[in-house]
Chain A
Protein backbone atom coordinates (compact mmCIF):
# COMPACT_ATOMS: atom_id res chain seq x y z
CA UNK A 1 0.00 0.00 0.00
CA UNK A 2 0.91 3.63 -0.12
CA UNK A 3 3.15 5.20 2.45
CA UNK A 4 2.34 8.13 4.65
CA UNK A 5 5.31 9.52 6.46
CA UNK A 6 4.96 11.63 9.55
CA UNK A 7 7.77 13.73 10.93
CA UNK A 8 9.05 14.12 13.55
CA UNK A 9 8.30 10.89 15.39
CA UNK A 10 9.27 12.41 18.71
CA UNK A 11 9.54 16.02 19.73
CA UNK A 12 10.22 17.62 23.06
CA UNK A 13 9.82 21.36 23.34
CA UNK A 14 9.63 24.09 25.90
CA UNK A 15 6.35 25.62 26.90
CA UNK A 16 5.47 28.59 24.72
CA UNK A 17 7.21 27.41 21.59
CA UNK A 18 5.53 26.25 18.40
CA UNK A 19 5.94 22.83 16.90
CA UNK A 20 5.25 21.75 13.34
CA UNK A 21 4.37 18.18 12.44
CA UNK A 22 4.45 17.12 8.81
CA UNK A 23 2.40 14.43 7.16
CA UNK A 24 3.52 13.39 3.69
CA UNK A 25 1.96 10.90 1.34
CA UNK A 26 4.86 9.51 -0.61
CA UNK A 27 3.11 7.81 -3.52
CA UNK A 28 -0.52 8.70 -3.10
CA UNK A 29 -2.60 11.77 -3.84
CA UNK A 30 -4.06 12.63 -0.50
CA UNK A 31 -6.96 14.93 -1.27
CA UNK A 32 -8.19 14.51 2.28
CA UNK A 33 -6.15 14.21 5.44
CA UNK A 34 -7.34 13.70 8.98
CA UNK A 35 -5.50 14.77 12.09
CA UNK A 36 -6.01 12.93 15.34
CA UNK A 37 -4.67 13.21 18.85
CA UNK A 38 -4.57 10.37 21.27
CA UNK A 39 -4.14 10.57 25.02
CA UNK A 40 -2.72 7.56 26.86
CA UNK A 41 -5.13 4.63 26.94
CA UNK A 42 -7.74 6.53 24.98
CA UNK A 43 -9.09 6.43 21.48
CA UNK A 44 -8.11 8.59 18.58
CA UNK A 45 -9.87 11.90 18.75
CA UNK A 46 -10.45 13.62 15.42
CA UNK A 47 -9.12 17.14 15.52
CA UNK A 48 -9.74 18.28 11.98
CA UNK A 49 -10.29 17.23 8.41
CA UNK A 50 -8.31 18.99 5.76
CA UNK A 51 -8.95 18.97 2.04
CA UNK A 52 -6.20 19.97 -0.31
CA UNK A 53 -6.34 23.63 -1.19
CA UNK A 54 -9.05 24.61 1.27
CA UNK A 55 -9.33 25.48 4.92
CA UNK A 56 -9.45 22.68 7.43
CA UNK A 57 -12.70 21.75 9.14
CA UNK A 58 -12.16 21.58 12.87
CA UNK A 59 -14.08 19.43 15.29
CA UNK A 60 -15.99 21.09 18.07
CA UNK A 61 -13.77 22.07 20.93
CA UNK A 62 -10.56 22.14 18.89
CA UNK A 63 -9.01 25.59 18.77
CA UNK A 64 -8.14 26.39 15.18
CA UNK A 65 -5.80 29.19 16.21
CA UNK A 66 -3.98 26.80 18.47
CA UNK A 67 -3.71 23.92 16.02
CA UNK A 68 -2.94 25.34 12.60
CA UNK A 69 -3.47 22.92 9.77
CA UNK A 70 -2.25 23.54 6.27
CA UNK A 71 -2.89 21.21 3.34
CA UNK A 72 -1.27 23.08 0.50
CA UNK A 73 -0.56 20.16 -1.77
CA UNK A 74 -1.75 16.66 -2.53
CA UNK A 75 1.23 15.21 -0.72
CA UNK A 76 1.69 17.36 2.34
CA UNK A 77 -0.34 18.48 5.30
CA UNK A 78 1.13 20.17 8.35
CA UNK A 79 -0.10 20.60 11.89
CA UNK A 80 1.43 23.41 13.88
CA UNK A 81 0.85 23.48 17.61
CA UNK A 82 1.27 27.11 18.48
CA UNK A 83 2.47 28.32 21.88
CA UNK A 84 2.52 24.77 23.13
CA UNK A 85 1.74 24.01 26.75
CA UNK A 86 2.15 20.81 28.76
CA UNK A 87 -1.51 19.92 28.25
CA UNK A 88 -0.80 19.74 24.50
CA UNK A 89 1.49 16.79 25.14
CA UNK A 90 -0.05 13.93 23.23
CA UNK A 91 0.33 11.49 20.39
CA UNK A 92 -0.68 13.04 17.08
CA UNK A 93 -1.52 10.87 14.08
CA UNK A 94 -2.40 11.82 10.53
CA UNK A 95 -4.19 9.75 7.98
CA UNK A 96 -4.67 10.27 4.28
CA UNK A 97 -7.30 9.22 1.83
CA UNK A 98 -8.63 10.11 -1.60
CA UNK A 99 -12.44 9.90 -1.55
CA UNK A 100 -12.62 10.51 -5.27
CA UNK A 101 -10.96 7.18 -5.98
CA UNK A 102 -13.83 5.39 -4.32
CA UNK A 103 -11.60 2.64 -2.99
CA UNK A 104 -11.74 3.50 0.68
CA UNK A 105 -8.01 3.28 0.91
CA UNK A 106 -6.78 4.95 4.04
CA UNK A 107 -3.20 5.33 5.13
CA UNK A 108 -1.79 6.37 8.47
CA UNK A 109 1.39 8.08 9.44
CA UNK A 110 3.52 6.58 12.15
CA UNK A 111 2.42 9.18 14.66
CA UNK A 112 4.26 11.98 16.41
CA UNK A 113 4.70 12.01 20.15
CA UNK A 114 4.83 15.56 21.49
CA UNK A 115 6.08 16.32 24.97
CA UNK A 116 5.87 19.89 26.15
CA UNK A 117 7.98 20.70 29.19
Chain B
Protein backbone atom coordinates (compact mmCIF):
# COMPACT_ATOMS: atom_id res chain seq x y z
CA UNK B 1 0.00 0.00 0.00
CA UNK B 2 1.10 3.52 -0.68
CA UNK B 3 1.24 6.27 1.86
CA UNK B 4 2.22 9.92 1.79
CA UNK B 5 2.75 11.80 5.02
CA UNK B 6 2.85 15.55 5.32
CA UNK B 7 3.31 15.97 9.04
CA UNK B 8 2.98 19.75 9.02
CA UNK B 9 -0.68 20.70 8.94
CA UNK B 10 -0.11 24.44 8.92
CA UNK B 11 2.92 26.68 8.76
CA UNK B 12 2.93 30.42 9.32
CA UNK B 13 5.87 32.56 8.29
CA UNK B 14 6.58 36.18 7.69
CA UNK B 15 7.40 37.37 4.21
CA UNK B 16 11.01 36.81 3.13
CA UNK B 17 11.51 33.89 5.46
CA UNK B 18 12.56 30.55 4.02
CA UNK B 19 10.22 27.65 4.66
CA UNK B 20 10.49 23.90 4.10
CA UNK B 21 7.50 21.64 3.63
CA UNK B 22 8.14 18.02 4.48
CA UNK B 23 6.92 14.96 2.60
CA UNK B 24 7.64 11.35 3.51
CA UNK B 25 6.32 8.47 1.44
CA UNK B 26 5.96 4.71 1.43
CA UNK B 27 5.58 2.46 -1.57
CA UNK B 28 6.43 -1.01 -2.76
CA UNK B 29 6.71 0.03 -6.38
CA UNK B 30 10.26 0.25 -7.69
CA UNK B 31 9.26 2.86 -10.25
CA UNK B 32 7.20 5.73 -9.03
CA UNK B 33 6.77 9.46 -9.37
CA UNK B 34 6.57 12.16 -6.77
CA UNK B 35 4.74 15.43 -7.21
CA UNK B 36 4.15 18.69 -5.47
CA UNK B 37 1.01 20.67 -6.16
CA UNK B 38 -0.14 24.05 -4.96
CA UNK B 39 -3.82 24.61 -4.31
CA UNK B 40 -4.82 28.25 -3.94
CA UNK B 41 -8.22 29.19 -2.50
CA UNK B 42 -9.78 28.96 -5.96
CA UNK B 43 -9.35 25.19 -5.75
CA UNK B 44 -7.51 24.19 -8.89
CA UNK B 45 -4.34 22.18 -8.47
CA UNK B 46 -1.25 23.89 -9.80
CA UNK B 47 1.53 21.54 -10.83
CA UNK B 48 4.93 22.43 -9.36
CA UNK B 49 7.21 19.48 -9.98
CA UNK B 50 7.35 15.81 -10.95
CA UNK B 51 10.31 13.63 -10.05
CA UNK B 52 10.78 9.97 -10.93
CA UNK B 53 12.21 7.47 -8.50
CA UNK B 54 15.45 7.04 -10.42
CA UNK B 55 16.35 10.70 -10.44
CA UNK B 56 17.59 11.88 -7.07
CA UNK B 57 19.04 15.10 -8.32
CA UNK B 58 17.79 18.06 -6.41
CA UNK B 59 16.05 20.72 -8.41
CA UNK B 60 15.81 24.45 -8.15
CA UNK B 61 13.29 26.59 -9.96
CA UNK B 62 13.46 30.22 -8.99
CA UNK B 63 12.60 30.49 -5.31
CA UNK B 64 11.50 26.85 -5.20
CA UNK B 65 13.78 23.91 -4.54
CA UNK B 66 13.20 20.24 -3.91
CA UNK B 67 15.29 17.72 -2.03
CA UNK B 68 14.63 14.09 -2.96
CA UNK B 69 16.27 11.58 -0.62
CA UNK B 70 15.42 8.02 -1.53
CA UNK B 71 17.31 6.69 1.52
CA UNK B 72 14.86 8.42 3.84
CA UNK B 73 11.88 8.28 1.45
CA UNK B 74 11.53 12.01 1.60
CA UNK B 75 10.78 14.66 -0.98
CA UNK B 76 10.92 18.02 0.77
CA UNK B 77 10.03 21.35 -0.76
CA UNK B 78 11.69 24.64 0.18
CA UNK B 79 10.49 28.11 -0.66
CA UNK B 80 13.18 30.74 -0.34
CA UNK B 81 12.28 34.32 0.51
CA UNK B 82 8.59 33.52 0.81
CA UNK B 83 5.98 35.92 -0.48
CA UNK B 84 2.36 36.52 0.42
CA UNK B 85 1.33 34.99 -2.93
CA UNK B 86 2.86 31.72 -1.78
CA UNK B 87 0.02 31.32 0.71
CA UNK B 88 -1.85 28.18 -0.27
CA UNK B 89 -2.22 24.53 0.56
CA UNK B 90 0.59 22.40 -0.80
CA UNK B 91 0.13 18.74 -1.53
CA UNK B 92 2.75 16.07 -2.01
CA UNK B 93 1.62 13.09 -4.09
CA UNK B 94 2.95 9.70 -5.09
CA UNK B 95 2.06 7.97 -8.36
CA UNK B 96 2.82 4.27 -8.47
CA UNK B 97 2.09 2.21 -11.57
CA UNK B 98 -1.62 2.97 -11.38
CA UNK B 99 -2.22 4.29 -7.89
CA UNK B 100 -2.11 7.95 -6.96
CA UNK B 101 -1.91 8.93 -3.31
CA UNK B 102 -1.97 12.42 -1.85
CA UNK B 103 -0.69 13.64 1.46
CA UNK B 104 -3.07 15.57 3.68
CA UNK B 105 -1.55 18.84 2.60
CA UNK B 106 0.25 21.64 4.38
CA UNK B 107 -1.37 25.04 4.59
CA UNK B 108 1.22 27.76 4.24
CA UNK B 109 0.34 31.22 5.48
CA UNK B 110 2.76 33.97 4.57
CA UNK B 111 2.05 37.26 6.26
CA UNK B 112 3.42 40.65 5.20
By a beta-carbon cutoff of 8 Å, the part of chain A in contact with chain B is 1, 32, 34, 36, 38, 41-44, 46, 49, 51, 91, 93, 95, 97, 99, 102, 104-106, 108, 110-111, 113
By a beta-carbon cutoff of 8 Å, the part of chain B in contact with chain A is 31-33, 35, 37, 43-45, 47, 50, 52, 91, 93, 95, 97-105, 107
Q: A interface, by DSSP: helix, strand, loop or mixed?
A: strand
**Quick check: A99 and B98 within 8 Å, CB to CB?**
yes
- Give Cα A42 to B10, complex, Å: 12
**Quick check: B100 and A111 within 8 Å, CB to CB?**
no
Give B56 Cβ to nearest chain A Cβ, in Å: 15
- Give Cα A111 to B37, complex, Å: 14
Greatest chain B CB density within 10 A among A43, A51, A110 is at A43
- Give Cα A114 to B97, complex, Å: 30
Q: B interface, by DSSP: helix, strand, loop or mixed?
A: strand
**Quick check: B47 and A99 within 8 Å, CB to CB?**
no
- Give Cα A105 to B49, complex, Å: 11
Using A104-B52, A111-B44 as known contacts, say yes or no to A97 and B95 having CB atoms under 8 A apart: yes
Q: Name 19 extra pairs, CB < 8 A, besides A93-B45, A108-B45.
A: A34-B100, A36-B102, A43-B91, A43-B103, A43-B104, A43-B105, A49-B100, A97-B95, A97-B98, A97-B100, A104-B95, A106-B33, A106-B35, A106-B50, A106-B95, A108-B44, A111-B43, A111-B44, A113-B43
Q: Which 6 A-B pairs have the closest CB atoms?
A: A104-B33, A43-B104, A44-B102, A108-B45, A43-B105, A99-B98
Using Cβ atoms and an 8 Å threshold, which residues of chain A touch B99? 49
Greatest chain A CB density within 10 A among B45, B47, B52, B99 is at B45
Using Cβ atoms and an 8 Å threshold, which residues of chain B touch A97? 95, 98, 100
Give B106 Cβ to nearest chain A Cβ, in Å: 10
- Give Cα A49 to B2, complex, Å: 14
- Give Cα A42 to B104, complex, Å: 7
Give B94 Cβ to nearest chain A Cβ, in Å: 10
- Give Cα A99 to B98, complex, Å: 6
**Quick check: B100 and A95 within 8 Å, CB to CB?**
yes
Give A24 Cβ to nearest chain B Cβ, in Å: 16
Give B101 Cβ to nearest chain A Cβ, in Å: 7
